[in-house]
């Protein structure tokens, strides 16, 4: 059994992302509780390597009702202890960590322990081994520090989450037919996922190539209308943030017409068991998507008072 501490930025998207990663990697799982997420799974390694909205992961090695029941024999290994409180009670974290440390058989090493113990309090106290979490280093890829910057770049955390919602694994092929500055392609590449990018703007195509080169990402980028996606085969998923006529151009095409054409073409080129992970500016476009796809899930996110966007996964 494992516990995942989730980002508090959204109520449901972190869980959706975890499901997307595990299902894409073919890892069986069963969820027992949300926030924190408690689940039984063959492994959570793919989540710890890829997730954008997960703060920590831990393997449950025991359960106790009261701190006084804590005893742990670590066979002489060096260790650290961290108390993580998800309950409603106020606790003295430092006292609990010191007390638990005195009850564990081993040697305390706060800087570089062989094992990191987490005492996770929810309805009871779960004794866990905190697992190594790969730092996604998003700050190194935010729009402000990229060599080519765009006005409406999808920030790396959201781009990565969008890729993960598409249920893809390493070496799968995704396509972003509105690739812009390359946010989605960069995150996919860093996770070992192959990609194709298309954009109708020569400026964007050139800028996207600059960004990809800067981050060492190998992807094929093409100039043209998104419909040229029909020239490619073997696409496992389509992951994209399409234009919606509000700061992002539709090249004077009516937004509804664009989305009708888009979903029709996506259905034609996508593998039978493939997924579409995209963002809609309004739920009115959900009806268009449903003409060609089954909705797996949809999550609402308020950007600001006058703008809500909808993260939708289709199959």
pLDDT of residue 12: 92
Phi, psi at residue 242, to the nearest 5°?
-70, 160
Domain 138-314, CATH 3.40.50.150 — does that match? Answer: yes
Q: What is the edge-to-edge ordering of all strands in the sheet holding 173-176? A: 220-223, 194-199, 173-176, 235-240, 270-280, 307-314, 295-304
Sorted by where each begins, the domain ranges of the chain are 2-130, 138-314
Cis, bond preceding 272 (omega within 30 deg of 0): no
Distances (CA, A) of 45 to 186, 199, 225, 314: 21, 34, 38, 25
Burial of 300 (0-12, 13-18, 19+ CB in 10 A): middle
Write the CA distances from 13 to 41, 68, 131, 175, 219, integer angstroms.
Answer: 19, 37, 22, 22, 27
Give the pLDDT score at 247. 52
**Stretch (H or E) spanning 233:** none
Reading the chain (315 residues) residue by residue, the pLDDT tens digits are 999 999 988 889 999 999 999 999 999 999 999 989 999 999 999 999 999 999 999 999 999 999 999 999 998 899 999 999 999 889 899 999 999 999 999 899 999 999 999 999 999 999 999 999 889 999 999 999 999 999 888 999 999 999 999 999 999 999 999 999 999 999 999 999 999 999 999 999 999 999 999 999 999 999 999 999 999 999 999 999 999 865 556 777 888 999 999 999 999 999 989 999 999 999 999 999 999 999 999 999 887 766 788 999 999
Would residue 35 be called left, alpha or beta, if left means φ above 0 and alpha means ψ between -120 and 50 degrees? left
Q: What is the pTM of this model?
A: 0.93
Q: What does the alpha-carbon distance between residue 114 and residue 220 come to, in Å, rounded to a whole number?
A: 43
For the chain, what's the residue count?
315
Q: Tokens 């949809």 identify what position?
A: 298
Instruction: Beginning with the edge strand found earlier in the chain, give each strand of the sheet holding 37-41 in spatial order.
Output: 29-33, 37-41, 2-6, 54-64, 125-130, 115-121, 72-85, 104-108
For residue 275, the surrounding DSSP H or E stretch is strand 270-280
Host H or E run for residue 22: helix 13-24
The CATH number of 2-130 is which of 3.30.2130.30, 3.50.50.60, 3.40.50.11030, 3.30.800.10?
3.30.2130.30
Identify the bridge partners of residue 199 per DSSP, sorted by sequence position: 223
Residue that is written with structure tokens 């996207």 in the block: 208
Tokens, residue 150 = 């765009």
Could you give the angle at the alpha carbon of 233 between the alpha carbons of 227 and 237, nearest 5°? 80
pLDDT of residue 301: 87
Q: Is 61 exposed, middle or buried (0-12, 13-18, 19+ CB in 10 A)?
A: middle
């Amino acid at each position: 059994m494992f516990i995942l501490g989730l980002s508090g930025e959204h109520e449901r998207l972190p869980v959706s992302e975890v499901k997307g990663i595990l299902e894409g990697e073919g890892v069986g799982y069963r969820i027992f509780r949300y926030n924190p997420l408690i689940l039984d799974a063959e492994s959570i390694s793919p989540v710890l390597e890829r997730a954008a909205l997960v703060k920590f992961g831990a393997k449950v090695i025991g359960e106790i009702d009261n701190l006084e029941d804590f005893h742990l024999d670590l066979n002489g290994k060096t260790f650290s202890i961290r108390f993580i409180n998800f309950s409603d009670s106020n606790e003295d974290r430092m006292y609990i960590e010191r007390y638990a440390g005195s009850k564990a058989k081993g040697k305390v090493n706060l800087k570089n322990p062989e094992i990191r113990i987490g005492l996770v309090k929810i309805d009871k106290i779960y004794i866990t081994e905190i697992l190594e979490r790969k730092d996604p280093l998003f700050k190194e890829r935010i729009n402000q520090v990229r060599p080519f910057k765009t006005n409406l770049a999808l920030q790396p955390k959201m781009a990565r989450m969008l890729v993960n919602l598409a249920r893809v694994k390493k070496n799968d092929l995704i396509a972003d037919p509105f690739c812009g500055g390359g946010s989605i392609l960069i995150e996919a590449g860093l996770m070992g996922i192959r990609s194709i990018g298309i954009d109708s703007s020569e400026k964007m195509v050139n800028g996207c190539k600059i960004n990809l080169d800067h981050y060492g990402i190998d992807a094929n980028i093409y100039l043209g209308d998104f419909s040229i996606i029909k020239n490619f085969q073997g696409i496992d998923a389509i992951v994209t943030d399409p234009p919606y006529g509000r700061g992002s151009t539709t090249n004077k095409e009516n937004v509804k017409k664009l989305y009708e054409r888009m979903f029709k073409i996506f259905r034609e080129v996508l593998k039978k068991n493939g997924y579409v992970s995209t963002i809609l500016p309004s739920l009115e476009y959900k009806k268009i998507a449903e003409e060609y796809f089954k909705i797996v899930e949809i999550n609402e996110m308020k950007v600001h008072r006058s703008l809500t966007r909808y993260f939708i996964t289709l199959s």
